[in-house]
């Protein structure tokens, strides 16, 4: 695996493929607003939202609530209010992986040392706060198999993506956010085996998207790529596209409503929360049709 | 204080003034994308981000990081990754207040009982997950005093808002998100007295905006309204606009870059994280010019 | 269920049966130190420690660690250190239930209103910080069935407790901490069904112990009493002994090493962490033989 | 600084000076129970408990409480209960430092690599779960200056400790827990400058105690040793006694009640919570007179 996009936007760049999105791409995307329909691509977030075994579930606590007042809490000037706190992994629910999330050989995207990511400093380089807002054209590539969800482990190949694009009458272009619908989340989210494997893109599909200059790759599974991995590899798509090409990944998307609306291209907007040194962020990606 | 908008969108409505935004408003806003410039209105989020005294600061922990590998952690197939967890109030940094956040007389917006908001259930009604994506026209009303930030406690009146709109050549319309710039956050965020008071709108300004049909009111302070409050009142604007009119509030906005760009109206997009039963959500509101 | 011990130690008392322990009881217990053997009765605490479904697991994060230095962190004057933070329910692992933990009819032990226990105040009355150190005679009542663990749901009756005491040559006296060994924790802790039910004392056994004046009841299960409960009751032992008699409960004890040492009576010491307004505390109870 | 006690209890030893406590020391200590008076040496723990700047404060959340029922929560079979969760640094309030807490040259006590302490594994060696119960003779060395608290930065020397022992008629012996009272916590805990420095033992006093074979050193300050440190050193006592001698430290003790009771020697009992891989533990140390 090479360092495909290292240095492409300068030695200090921490934004990677998001640099493909310039004012032209934003204006082009703005013109896609036609019906005025707006669709959230985010899962609801709660202690019941599934998490992989190695992460703790979200916890959500009320610090002040209606029960306080019911039990006699004071309401100065009549005022009552509620507030709450969460404990939450940043790779939770519908979220984006920052470029510091995955790497190999102790080097992140663009050659930054992974030694800058540690308990005390968090990610000194390529943290999620470096991403900024994401506003560009979104494409939906629906790769369901005759309307049926793909099976666990099924690879989504370059050919499959090309066929989906042809069916939709769109072509993948530089600066696009490409959203790949496998049907996995609707089929499996409620299943205890949701995280045991998934359909998703393979390395060549990842490379094809990357070479097209996509800004972000998203999918309705938990890790973009098919699992089990090909023999003797571990998260090869993550390694290639995040580290090599500097492409952030959008995981856990809810894409069925977008497909149901017949959307193929649209204005895509997402605002990763700027956690300083964070490895990712839960967010609500939005499609505007 | 009356129940101005209760029942307006049906007895079961939990979205309040966001209902003013329909497909027409979205399409109209989409047409405001002209230069392709994109601006985040969000503060960075870190353990150093100021919080009011009654809330704990954010905590941000690495669960796996570059230090693990530096210290000899295994990297199966060469793969290395980092992940992290936060402890965070939902009313933190740049955030939106859901309609369950403030009320009086044990009744939330639209008459829902505040008894439904408690430790075990969180907010059964008007939680932040009911809001959905916010996509509409944004207006910047810059009320700085000859370029100088307003002083602590200074009320922003209806007349001041009207003059600002006139200066900008815009008029507040139904479905708009109105962002009011006081200069407070730039002047005071680093000051230990940031939360001790602030300039902000008064009740009549709030009512004027509400009667115009604005969908959301935002500002670059921590609580929208001027503090100290008028004598014998406590958060009167919160009580009026959140509970009476069903208008969510956007607090802690960073508006200086928007002002510097000369923006007056723009496509506004925000995606509140859908925490089930949450009283609000940190988010990254986005202005697209 | 009556209010057996209400008022017994005054209207303001929040310590309940711990009041049975006076200087005499401590001195008597001190004399039980004979062999000098010391045994911890606590489970190890980690993210893997089982928790009931309605609670989140413990999370344990390093804030600074050896990985930081391995990755280049500064070591002023050569000094290196590590520190960490946990997210943890107070009813976790081996823990004590404070008197505010369980009640009915909106009244805690001694008639305090349960309205004083809420999100903002935590427990205003009978919190774990009111308990103080527990130092007294401990008795082990081993109720295994011919050396075999009791089955889920098996009630431990008064007769069974009396027989166990007889076998051990001890008699339950005022101020004792009584520890009941069922074998449940060793048999089931690693089983996903650990929390689905358990053997434990029944109401009459609880009343018998309470009438003897025991200061604390402990067991090697998760809730002291047998589950499933008798028909049409819910945690009847909790309701009786915590609320009626003011007796704290010690749950999740590890008693096999104590049994293996042949201990029957011993100096018992436990220090509940004084969380202000907490409903309980993980702790390390100690038997000194 | 040498490795004074490395290898003394074998190459795999992780308990250090706690090994000095054997059955004889426990029995000897048991005989010190005379009056039956029991004293907690622990601070109350709450979100208001002071923490150093680099750590977050404790947070304490109710998950179920009396407010729930006041607001209409169900009480099956009449049963009501409350539970709660804390977010808490393990070096919080009155706590013990495990042997993995401080080191230099990438080597912990007994030569274990500090690389075993990292985000994913926590402390593989010398974690607090390796300590077990602490039961031995406690000595109070009261070093107040004519009844006045020592000043910030004041070193407590070997001579001062020897004089205090002489005054009390005790001599420091192998296996003792030595508690040094400076008056700092009562004077300063409520002061915002509590953590800016403190009186405490110097290196030679630490070495003298260590060479006597003490099992634990405790004090009523936050870091045992005097701060500011001697020129060009950083936590020299921590480095010497924790790493070199394998002696755990007890910090944040409340010793005034013990002094008020006229205690000089007593049965000391403490149960560090066995957090697997933890760097320390809040606890309630107990003196039994």
Among residues D270, D234, D240, the alpha carbon closest in space to that of D252 is found at D270
pLDDT value of position B56 = 87
Q: Is D77 left (phi over 0), alpha (psi -120 to 50) or beta?
A: left
Name the DSSP letter for residue D26: H
**Mean pLDDT over the full length of chain C:** 97
Question: Could you tell me if the ipTM is greater than 0.95?
Answer: yes
Q: Which residue has the tokens 């115009």?
A: B212
pLDDT value of position B54 = 84
Average pLDDT of the residues in C173-180: 98
Is A106 within 8 Å of B70 when comparing Cβ atoms?
yes
User: How far does A161 lie from chain B, in Å, by closest CA?
Assistant: 26
CB A192 within 8 A of CB A148: no
SS3 content of chain C, % helix, strand, coil (to 5): 25, 25, 50
Omega prior to D201 cis, within 30 of 0: no
Q: How confident is the model at residue D55 (pLDDT cuts 50, 70, 90)?
A: confident
| Contact status of D216 with chain C (Cβ, < 8 Å) | no
User: How far does A128 lie from chain C, in Å, by closest CA?
Assistant: 19
CB D277 within 8 A of CB C60: yes
Determine the residue among D57, D60, D73, D118 to mutate to test chain B binding: the one whose Cβ has the most chain B Cβ atoms within 10 Å: D118
pLDDT value of position D27 = 98
For the entire predicted model, the pTM comes to 0.97
Among residues D59, D62, D5, D71, the alpha carbon closest in space to that of D207 is found at D5
| Contact status of A119 with chain C (Cβ, < 8 Å) | yes
CB B118 within 8 A of CB D71: yes
pLDDT value of position B55 = 86
User: How far does B118 lie from chain D, in Å, by closest CA?
Assistant: 6
Is D119 within 8 Å of B72 when comparing Cβ atoms?
no
pLDDT value of position B67 = 98
Is D71 within 8 Å of A67 when comparing Cβ atoms?
yes
**Residue D1: pLDDT over 80:** no
For a pLDDT cut of 90, what percent of chain D falls above it? 97
Buried-exposed string B208-222: b where 16+ CB fall within 10 A, e elsewhere: bbbebbbbbbbbbbb
Q: Is B78 exposed, middle or buried (0-12, 13-18, 19+ CB in 10 A)?
A: middle
Contacts of C62 in chain B (CB under 8 A): 61-62
Instruction: Tell me the C-alpha distance between A19 and D115, whole Å.
Output: 38
Nearest chain B residue to A126 by CA distance is B82
Instruction: Tell me the C-alpha distance between A145 and B29, whole Å.
Output: 37
| Contact status of C234 with chain A (Cβ, < 8 Å) | no
Sequence-ordered list of residues with C-beta below 8 angstroms from that of A175, at least 6 positions apart, any chain = A20, A21, A22, A25, A136, A137, A213, A214, A215
N-term to C-term CA, chain A? 37
Sequence-ordered list of residues with C-beta below 8 angstroms from that of B162, at least 6 positions apart, any chain = none
Residue D257 tokens, joined: 């009640």
pLDDT value of position B1 = 53
pLDDT value of position C1 = 53
Q: Which residue has the tokens 């509400």?
A: B210
CB C218 within 8 A of CB C285: yes
pLDDT value of position C56 = 87
What are the backbone angles phi and psi of residue B208, rounded to the nearest 5°?
A: -60, -45
Average pLDDT of the residues in D96-113: 98
pLDDT value of position D53 = 85
| Contact status of D225 with chain C (Cβ, < 8 Å) | no
Is A235 within 8 Å of B81 when comparing Cβ atoms?
yes
User: How far does D146 lie from chain C, in Å, by closest CA?
Assistant: 31
The 10s digit of each residue's pLDDT in C16-74 is 999 999 999 999 999 999 999 999 999 999 999 999 988 889 999 999 999 999 999 99
User: How far does D54 lie from chain A, in Å, by closest CA?
Assistant: 10
Helix (H, G, I), strand (E, B) or coil at C229: coil
CB A257 within 8 A of CB A284: no
Contacts of D87 in chain A (CB under 8 A): 87
Lowest mean pLDDT among A281-285, C230-234, D53-57, D263-267: D53-57
The 10s digit of each residue's pLDDT in D27-36 is 999 999 999 9
pLDDT value of position C54 = 84
Nearest chain D residue to C48 by CA distance is D276
**Mean pLDDT over the full length of chain A:** 97
How many of the other CB atoms lie within 10 Å of CB of B22?
Answer: 13
Angle between helices D203-212 and D158-168 (to 10 degrees): 50
Q: Is D139 exposed, middle or buried (0-12, 13-18, 19+ CB in 10 A)?
A: buried
Residue B30 tokens, joined: 């989409």
Instruction: Tell me the C-alpha distance between A281 and A90, whole Å.
Output: 5
Contacts of C270 in chain D (CB under 8 A): 271
Determine the residue among B71, B73, B89, B279 to mutate to test chain C binding: the one whose Cβ has the most chain C Cβ atoms within 10 Å: B71
C-alpha neighbours within 13 Å on the C-beta side of residue A135: 33
∠B24-B26-B27 over CA atoms, to 5°?
65
Cα distances from C184 to residues C70, C181, C238, C259, D230, in angstroms, run: 43, 8, 19, 14, 55
Name the DSSP letter for residue B222: S
Instruction: Tell me the C-alpha distance between B210 and B216, whole Å.
Output: 9
**Tens digit of each residue's pLDDT, chain B (289 residues):** 579 999 999 999 999 999 999 999 999 999 999 999 999 999 999 999 999 988 889 999 999 999 999 999 999 999 999 999 999 999 999 999 999 999 999 999 999 999 999 999 999 999 999 999 999 999 999 999 989 999 999 999 999 999 999 999 999 999 999 999 999 999 999 899 999 999 999 999 999 999 999 999 999 999 999 999 999 999 999 999 999 999 999 999 999 999 999 999 999 999 999 999 999 999 999 999 9
Which residues does residue C104 pair with via DSSP β-bridges, in sequence order?
C107
CB B114 within 8 A of CB B103: yes
Residue A185 tokens, joined: 């989340």
Is C288 within 8 Å of D30 when comparing Cβ atoms?
yes
Q: How confident is the model at residue A53 (pLDDT cuts 50, 70, 90)?
A: confident
The 10s digit of each residue's pLDDT in A185-232 is 999 998 999 999 999 999 999 999 999 999 999 999 999 999 999 999
Residue D247 tokens, joined: 């002696």
Average pLDDT of the residues in D251-258: 98
What are the backbone angles phi and psi of residue D179, rounded to the nearest 5°?
A: -110, 120
pLDDT value of position D21 = 98
Contacts of A71 in chain D (CB under 8 A): 66-67, 70-71
Instruction: Tell me the C-alpha distance between C102 and C97, whole Å.
Output: 9
CB D161 within 8 A of CB D208: yes
Name the DSSP letter for residue B100: T
User: How far does C62 lie from chain D, in Å, by closest CA?
Assistant: 5
Q: How confident is the model at residue A1 (pLDDT cuts 50, 70, 90)?
A: low
Helix (H, G, I), strand (E, B) or coil at D146: coil
Contacts of C72 in chain A (CB under 8 A): 115
Q: How confident is the model at residue C260 (pLDDT cuts 50, 70, 90)?
A: very high
Determine the residue among A35, A61, A66 to mutate to test chain B binding: the one whose Cβ has the most chain B Cβ atoms within 10 Å: A66
| Contact status of C63 with chain B (Cβ, < 8 Å) | yes
Name the DSSP letter for residue B221: S
Is C284 within 8 Å of D276 when comparing Cβ atoms?
no
> Nearest Cβ partner of B86 from A76, A90, A236?
A90
Instruction: Tell me the C-alpha distance between A279 and A287, whole Å.
Output: 24
**Mean pLDDT over the full length of chain D:** 97
Q: Per residue, what are the HEC states of chain A?
A: CCCCCCCCCCCCCCCHHHHHCCHHHHHHHHCCCCCCCEEECCCCECCCCCCCCCCCCCEEEEEECHHHHHCCCCCHHHCEECEEEEEEECCCCCEEECCCCEEECCECHHHCEHHHEECCCEECCCCHHHCCCEEEEEEEEECCECCECCCCCCEECHHHHHHHHHHHCCCCCCCCEEEEECCHHHHHCCCCCHHHCECEECHHHHHHHHHHCCCEEEECCCCCECECCCCCCCCHHHHHHHHHCCCCEEECCCCHHHHHCCCCEEEEEECCCCECCCCEEECCCEEEC
Instruction: Tell me the C-alpha distance between C169 and D59, whole Å.
Output: 47
Helix (H, G, I), strand (E, B) or coil at B259: helix
What are the backbone angles phi and psi of residue A143, rounded to the nearest 5°?
A: -110, 25
CB C98 within 8 A of CB C276: no
Average pLDDT of the residues in D192-207: 97
Residue B204 tokens, joined: 């009549």
Q: Is B204 exposed, middle or buried (0-12, 13-18, 19+ CB in 10 A)?
A: middle
């Amino acid at each position: 695996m090479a360092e495909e996009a290292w240095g492409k936007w300068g030695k200090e760049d921490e934004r990677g493929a998001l640099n493909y999105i310039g004012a032209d791409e934003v204006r082009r995307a703005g013109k896609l607003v036609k019906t005025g329909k707006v669709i959230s691509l985010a899962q609801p977030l709660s202690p019941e939202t599934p998490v992989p075994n190695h992460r703790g579930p979200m916890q959500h606590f009320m610090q002040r609530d209606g029960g306080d007042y019911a039990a006699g809490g004071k309401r100065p000037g009549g005022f009552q209010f509620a507030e709450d706190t969460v404990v939450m992994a940043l790779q939770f629910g519908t979220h984006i992986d920052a470029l510091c999330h995955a790497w190999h050989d102790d080097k992140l995207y663009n050659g930054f040392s992974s030694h800058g990511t540690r308990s005390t400093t968090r990610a000194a380089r390529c943290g999620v706060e470096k991403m900024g807002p994401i506003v560009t054209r979104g494409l939906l590539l629906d790769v369901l198999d005759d309307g049926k969800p793909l099976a666990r482990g099924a690879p989504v190949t370059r050919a499959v993506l090309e066929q989906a694009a042809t069916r939709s009458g769109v072509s993948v272009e530089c600066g696009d956010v490409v959203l790949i619908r496998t049907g996995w989340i609707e089929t499996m989210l409620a299943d205890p085996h949701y995280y045991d494997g998934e359909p998703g893109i393979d390395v060549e599909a990842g490379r094809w998207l990357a070479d097209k200059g996509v800004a972000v790759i998203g999918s309705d599974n938990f890790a973009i790529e098919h699992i089990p991995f090909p023999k003797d590899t571990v998260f090869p798509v993550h390694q290639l596209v995040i580290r090599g090409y500097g492409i952030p990944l959008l995981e856990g998307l809810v894409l069925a409503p977008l497909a149901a609306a017949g959307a193929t291209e649209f204005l895509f907007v997402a605002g990763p929360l700027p956690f300083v040194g964070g490895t990712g962020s839960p967010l609500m990606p939005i499609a505007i049709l």
